[in-house]
Amino acid sequence: MIPRRELFPNVIEMNYQARRRLGCCVYLVHDRGAWGLIDIGYEDTLDDIVDLIRKMDFRLADCRYLVATHADVDHIQGLKRAKEIMPQAKVVGHRQAARLLAEGERIMTYAEIAAQGISIDLPKVEFDGVIDEGDVLEIGGLKLDVWHTPGHAPAQLSFRMGELLFSGDNIYRDGAVGNIDAHHGSDLPAFIKSLERIRDSDVKWLLPSHGPVFRKDSVHIQKTIDRLTTYLHLADFGTCAIDWPLLEEWDAELVRDFDPAKA
Ligand SMILES: [Zn+2]
């Protein structure tokens, strides 16, 4: 038996619990014996995570939910094996994540990044249910409100529990955000809306999917919103931008005689 290192009442995070970096954040939410996990991480850390859970004296048979914040391989590769170990637990997530993982889709989940030689296993998994904006997950007496916060990925969900928001890949402590990538289904205007929603909410703490937990700070989130807003009009993220004003400037210049000395 090992002591439970709760970050907040009823919330344990497995990297903090292990006191070493295992991978993406894996949150264990528990109440009255019932518990659930938000994300599971890679398959090769699954045994360590299950071992920690057992040693904290949670019964595997009491796991209600295995939640996917979205379908990226680093968040969910271990899902299939976790479901085999805990068959009573319901695998839930957004319908787009359910589709990607039922199909074993490799591009949108980052299992395959051919240009970088990245090619890793993506075990297919069938979800037991899909969840979306407005749904509520109940664990013991706890209620987790499901927020659909697309931007990084179409399937990105966040979960509000009182003053806590399990905020997925929306924003990290350094103001960085989850990868913006057209092939991943990223959507910059949607991303900005999701961040504005988080900024304007009265949650006090953000529990992200990567890196440390941090206090919600509207000024900090606004800096990130401002940065993403500039991306809307820059070529940096290709087809994720909504326009490129430089092309209009160029149009105007093309109809005049070009004079390098005046450029
Ligand atoms: Zn991620």
136 to each of 86, 147, 205, how far by Cα in Å?
22, 9, 19
C-alpha–C-alpha distance, residues 46 and 48, integer Å: 5
Per-residue pLDDT tens for 96-112?
999 999 999 999 999 99
Distance 259 CA to ligand 1 centre (A): 48
> What share of the chain has pLDDT > 90, as a percent?
96
Rounded to an integer, the average pLDDT of 111-116 is 96
Domains by residue range for the chain, with CATH: 6-262 (3.60.15.10)
Distance 73 CA to ligand 1 centre (A): 8
170 to each of 210, 227, 243, how far by Cα in Å?
10, 14, 23
> In the structure encoding, which two tokens stand for residue 235, read together?
């070529």
Under the banding of pLDDT at 50, 70 and 90, the label for residue 260 is confident
Residue 247 has pLDDT above 90, yes or no: yes
Under the banding of pLDDT at 50, 70 and 90, the label for residue 141 is very high
Distance 209 CA to ligand 1 centre (A): 6
C-alpha–C-alpha distance, residues 76 and 91, integer Å: 11
Residue 158 has pLDDT above 80, yes or no: yes
Distance 14 CA to ligand 1 centre (A): 16
Three-state secondary structure call for residue 215: strand
Per-residue pLDDT tens for 186-237?
999 999 999 999 999 999 999 999 999 999 999 999 999 999 999 999 999 9
Distance 260 CA to ligand 1 centre (A): 46
Distance 85 CA to ligand 1 centre (A): 24
pTM for the full model?
0.96
Please report the sign of the dihedral spanned by the C-alpha atoms of residue 40, residue 41, residue 43, residue 47: negative
Rounded to an integer, the average pLDDT of 156-164 is 98
Distance 159 CA to ligand 1 centre (A): 15
Distance 152 CA to ligand 1 centre (A): 9
Per-residue pLDDT tens for 52-83?
999 999 999 999 999 999 999 999 999 999 99
Distance 25 CA to ligand 1 centre (A): 9
Distance 24 CA to ligand 1 centre (A): 7
Rounded to an integer, the average pLDDT of 7-25 is 97
Under the banding of pLDDT at 50, 70 and 90, the label for residue 261 is confident
Cβ(219)–Cβ(162) below 8 Å: no
Q: Around ion ligand 1, which residues have CB less than 5 A away?
A: 72, 169, 209
Rg (CA), the chain: 21
Distance 74 CA to ligand 1 centre (A): 7
Distance 113 CA to ligand 1 centre (A): 15
Distance 207 CA to ligand 1 centre (A): 13
Residue 15 has pLDDT above 80, yes or no: yes
Three-state secondary structure call for residue 99: helix
Report the b/e string of 214-239 with b at 16+ CB within 10 A. Answer: bebeeebbeebbeebeebbeeeebee
Distance 75 CA to ligand 1 centre (A): 6
Report the b/e string of 150-177 with b at 16+ CB within 10 A. Answer: bbbbbbbbbbbbeebbbbbbbbbeeeeb
Name the average pLDDT for the chain.
Answer: 97
Cβ(188)–Cβ(182) below 8 Å: no
Q: Which of 162, 158, 125, 156 is nearest to 142 (CA)?
A: 162
C-alpha–C-alpha distance, residues 177 and 104, integer Å: 25
